[in-house]
A and B are shown apart, each in its own frame.
Chain A
């Protein structure tokens, strides 16, 4: 009886203010899409960073089997060359610059490659012999990349010295900027959504002042009086969140997976799974939004 009554009151309210309910749905849809996009961009950033990204600054790639570099004339880097480079990295001359050195064999490189691109068809034909061994170097001061580069570029057995940050930094910068823009828009839209839901609930409560007045008079509890309005806001916001999840899923599925992933291949991309990870948070945000708005707007209009 109670539940049925509260629900029917809620639907009466939604129907009476249908255009307002639709605008609440749309505003939450747009704002939560921006929130979700910001989250997905961050997820994309962590996809872009490989396992070394946060640990090292410079990678010294050693000669693979068939490099055309003059320093690799002797073929694949020999154990002696590997040891020599290792010793230089640990020498007193470089000690002030080098914080830590990791050595990665080509087998290890192959394994992490396999893991990273497990789902990519173009990665399936790669073998361990096509990979190269490398020294991964963490620097005391990340800006001192040049010292390492000067020392090892042209060294026999070294294929190329790469400033790790130079590879990823521009991409990550773009993604971070996009996150900021998305997040900024999300904040503005969330504010708009909160104000709109507040106004909607208030209008709804005012249009039913007669009912709520009588409810108070005959001794309906506060919760009973307020619940239909709260649910009204919550339902509209939840539908908005649902649309946002749908929109994000659509975007990831068709924009990222079908288009980006086939045109720019070397980056591993987020997938639909990441959208499902974000979805519960968006839903929670919608409900929180509605709850805050109810608290702000209802106190005054349906007080005992």
Chain B
């Protein structure tokens, strides 16, 4: 199994030493996400879902996570969100060591991360506007902030004029745009997307990818797990391939399939 593409970057700095009160070296600070020897075993005795994964993602990058079903893509995203905790190794997100992050601080971490899923996860009895505003309301943002930010964000995702619709009155692509608006409305520095085009037809998917690309251009780091080879091949972004929990390829401007 040849690992081709960009060689794994090895930094000479000892990255296990946290910066503490000293200013972080620039090279270190530019990683918004870093996984060091991360292993995740769900059930005792089971095959690890992630096996000794090392991964660095820089600020503003767009990364595709690819791999067969069950290879550990969603697990990786859940670790970054601290929905799961690693069995071994360390996860750093937005400058924080998640193993040292106390439970009550987790919500503050998540405010810096937007999340999008295959199944949209919208609230059916709220309008488009309310669905997006909900994300701000529940973190205690003031009303005037919500009133200005939500329309801007809806405009950005191309849903201007559809504020009053409910999710069932929208197409799948539009629903995913609402979900993206909700994920992005608090201007997170990281956007995690788990198969966001999984339920959409190819043309609609292209529209969603354009949107994610636009969000990426604003400086937001995007990590997207996907099975969609056409999209990956078209976008030519960094591709990280997982196979049974191990990183088998890490390629800048990569394609979906590797030449195994």
Contact at A219–B141, with CB atoms within 8 Å?
no
Any A CB within 8 A of the CB of B186: yes
Any A CB within 8 A of the CB of B137: yes
Contact at A219–B111, with CB atoms within 8 Å?
yes
Any B CB within 8 A of the CB of A80: no
**A-chain residues with CB within 8 Å of residue B113 when the two chains form the complex:** 219
Given the interface contacts A213-B121, A304-B103, does A219 sit within 8 Å of B142 by beta carbon?
no
Any B CB within 8 A of the CB of A211: yes
Contact at B110–A5, with CB atoms within 8 Å?
no
Interface residue from A1, A213, A218, A304 paired with B135 (Cβ < 8 Å) = A218
Any A CB within 8 A of the CB of B109: yes
Chain A, range 212-262, C-beta contacts under 8 Å to B: 213-222, 224-225
**B-chain residues with CB within 8 Å of residue A213 when the two chains form the complex:** 121
Contact at A221–B104, with CB atoms within 8 Å?
yes
**A-chain residues with CB within 8 Å of residue B111 when the two chains form the complex:** 218-219
Contact at B107–A222, with CB atoms within 8 Å?
yes
Any A CB within 8 A of the CB of B138: yes
Any A CB within 8 A of the CB of B143: yes
Contact at B110–A216, with CB atoms within 8 Å?
yes
Interface residue from A219, A220, A222, A225 paired with B109 (Cβ < 8 Å) = A219
5 contacts between A and B (CB under 8 A): A5-B138, A211-B123, A214-B123, A216-B107, A219-B106
For A303, give the chain B residue with the smallest CB separation: B103
**A-chain residues with CB within 8 Å of residue B135 when the two chains form the complex:** 214, 218
Give CA–CA (A215, B107) in the complex, Å. Answer: 9
Give CA–CA (A1, B146) in the complex, Å. Answer: 10
**B-chain residues with CB within 8 Å of residue A304 when the two chains form the complex:** 103, 106-107
Give CA–CA (A2, B111) in the complex, Å. Answer: 17
**A-chain residues with CB within 8 Å of residue B140 when the two chains form the complex:** 1-2, 224
**A-chain residues with CB within 8 Å of residue B108 when the two chains form the complex:** 219
A206 to chain B, nearest CB (A): 16
Interface string of B117-150 (1 = CB under 8 A from A): 0000101000000000011011111110010000
Any B CB within 8 A of the CB of A210: yes
How many B residues, CB 8 Å from partner? 27
Any A CB within 8 A of the CB of B175: no
Contact at B123–A219, with CB atoms within 8 Å?
no
Binding site for B on A (CB under 8 A): 1-2, 5, 210-211, 213-222, 224-225, 304
**A-chain residues with CB within 8 Å of residue B134 when the two chains form the complex:** 211, 214, 218
Interface residue from A210, A211, A220 paired with B139 (Cβ < 8 Å) = A220
Binding site for A on B (CB under 8 A): 81, 103-104, 106-113, 115, 121, 123, 134-135, 137-143, 146, 182-183, 186
Given the interface contacts A210-B121, A210-B123, A219-B108, does A1 sit within 8 Å of B138 by beta carbon?
no
Give CA–CA (A221, B140) in the complex, Å. Answer: 9
Give CA–CA (A263, B232) in the complex, Å. Answer: 92
For B121, give the chain A residue with the smallest CB separation: A214
**B-chain residues with CB within 8 Å of residue A2 when the two chains form the complex:** 140
**A-chain residues with CB within 8 Å of residue B182 when the two chains form the complex:** 214, 218
**A-chain residues with CB within 8 Å of residue B107 when the two chains form the complex:** 216, 219-222, 304
Interface contacts beyond A1-B141, A304-B106: sample of 5 additional A-B pairs, CB < 8 Å, sorted by A: A210-B121, A217-B115, A221-B104, A222-B103, A224-B138
Interface residue from B138, B142, B143 paired with A215 (Cβ < 8 Å) = B138
A175 to chain B, nearest CB (A): 50
A41 to chain B, nearest CB (A): 46
Give CA–CA (A215, B121) in the complex, Å. Answer: 11
For A224, give the chain B residue with the smallest CB separation: B138
For B135, give the chain A residue with the smallest CB separation: A218
For A1, give the chain B residue with the smallest CB separation: B143
**B-chain residues with CB within 8 Å of residue A225 when the two chains form the complex:** 138
Give CA–CA (A221, B103) in the complex, Å. Answer: 10
Closest 3 pairs between A and B when the two form their complex, measured CB to CB: A219-B110, A219-B111, A220-B138
Give CA–CA (A219, B108) in the complex, Å. Answer: 6
B186 to chain A, nearest CB (A): 7
Contact at B110–A218, with CB atoms within 8 Å?
yes
B150 to chain A, nearest CB (A): 13
Contact at B123–A1, with CB atoms within 8 Å?
no
Task: From A216, A219, A221, name the one whose CB has the most chain B CB atoms within 10 angstroms.
Answer: A219
Give CA–CA (A219, B82) in the complex, Å. Answer: 11
Give CA–CA (A220, B182) in the complex, Å. Answer: 13
**B-chain residues with CB within 8 Å of residue A1 when the two chains form the complex:** 137, 140-143, 146
For A211, give the chain B residue with the smallest CB separation: B123
**A-chain residues with CB within 8 Å of residue B115 when the two chains form the complex:** 217-218
**A-chain residues with CB within 8 Å of residue B106 when the two chains form the complex:** 219, 304
Give CA–CA (A221, B138) in the complex, Å. Answer: 8
Contact at A218–B103, with CB atoms within 8 Å?
no
Given the interface contacts A216-B110, A217-B110, does A222 sit within 8 Å of B139 by beta carbon?
no
Task: From A1, A213, A217, name the one whose CB has the most chain B CB atoms within 10 angstroms.
Answer: A217
**A-chain residues with CB within 8 Å of residue B109 when the two chains form the complex:** 219
Give CA–CA (A1, B141) in the complex, Å. Answer: 8
**B-chain residues with CB within 8 Å of residue A210 when the two chains form the complex:** 121, 123
